[in-house]
Chain A
């Protein structure tokens, strides 16, 4: 119920944007190849539905596997970095550097290494999405109340137990912030990866339509990509509600 009520404002806002867009195309008479009307995009969505669906499944698969890889890499790096000052100093700067490497440059290398299959896509997605998750998880782990940790020490809790009982639960709100950013980046990562080396998927489809100057069809693909992104984000939000009821109860009470 709350979800439905929550959907109201963004849907209303989207309607407003679509109306403004329709007005703009009607008033300016801009050609379809530059900016199609909402109606033309809707028509393209319907006409292309079979192609869109086929390629959407490919991209969704890449996103899910890549996102899972990003989570595995991001969380384990965060935990290792948190556990060891030495690792933090040795590795953390390089994580930052890894984000400076232009994906456009590195993605073709992944393709050379592994070929045109799922692997380079998973690598690209993991590379763009692990970082915000790792950073916010590390910050969250650091945020645990030091006095609580001292109390747990007097109760006989070792490092691992303190992590399990206090640091990890305290970090979870930050972990979820990272998961949300990573979800959005996973979608972008998948499109990027397909541009570089793929014969299928929504990113590939965008390129193809772009070459054909089929702008309305291109917009249709973007709409589908947006829907996938929102769905993934929504799943993370839902998981957050389930895992962190205490956090949301506290915020709501404010």
Chain B
């Protein structure tokens, strides 16, 4: 589906304006990264795309028509992992399938088939309290992927991971995105991550957030580590950082 934000604004009841006049477009199958300073409204934007918040101004269009309810159309991964401490890792990951009507057994089987790819094998029957921070995040990612939606909304999924795991999972996300051709909106603080993974990047201003810069990344994905060293890549990163205020 095509997702479009037009003049999107959000002012909370307390009076904080998180977003103001934001225009953004996500084409089907596209991988869009949203970068911006802390507190500029990135999580707010994803919550609106997930159908959890109604914008106070502007509108969200789906396939060109104003969206009535977005709830249930996207797989949303909140900034915190939100794993349920009373469920095993497998049952946490399978919750989306369960809610979609699969039997507990089917849901577990499908989740079990994926734990390898997510580096969680051997931990299927553990509880989240027994996982490292990185593993918790991977479990949350698996839960998001298993929700079976075309649109994935990922709120800083790798922010809590160590550098090695992060590189690993970035490559992995690149491959999955390539294989599934799902539409992905990735919120991140990490300019390199955005440039490595995305087709297009939006840089937001300080709060209230609006689009400060839109960049299409070349060469087209999937990109390998060699791209990281290219001068074009360095130039792109510099443009992003300058827009963010790092001169």
Chain A: residues with CB nearer than 8 A to chain B?
Answer: 145, 147-148, 150-157, 161, 165-166, 169-170, 172, 244, 246-247, 249-250, 253
Contacts and interface: CB of A to CB of B under 8 A. Distances in A.
Contacts of A147: 78, 80, 82
A253 B128 CA distance: 13
Given A169-B84, A250-B129, A150 B147 contact: no
A67 to B, nearest CB: 25
B49 to A, nearest CB: 10
Given A250-B129, A253-B129, A151 B82 contact: yes
B95 A165 contact: yes
Nearest to B80: A147
Name A's interface SS.
helix
A247 B99 contact: no
B41 interface: no
B86 interface: yes
Given A246-B129, A249-B127, A253-B129, A154 B84 contact: no
Contacts, number: 61
Given A147-B80, A246-B86, A156 B129 contact: no
Contacts of B50: 150, 154
Contacts of B75: 154-155
Contacts of B71: 153-154, 156
Q: Specify which of B47, B51, B99 lies most central, judged by the most chain A CB atoms within 10 Å of its CB.
A: B99
Given A150-B52, A161-B99, A165-B95, A246 B85 contact: yes
A145 B52 contact: no
B82 A169 contact: no
B62 to A, nearest CB: 15
Interface of B: 47, 50-52, 71-72, 74-76, 78, 80, 82, 84-87, 95-96, 99-100, 127, 129, 147
22 contacts: A148-B84, A150-B50, A150-B52, A153-B51, A153-B52, A154-B71, A154-B72, A154-B74, A155-B95, A155-B96, A155-B99, A155-B147, A165-B84, A169-B84, A170-B86, A246-B86, A246-B127, A246-B129, A247-B85, A249-B127, A250-B127, A253-B129
A131 B196 CA distance: 58
Contacts of B129: 246, 249-250, 253
A153 to B, nearest CB: 6
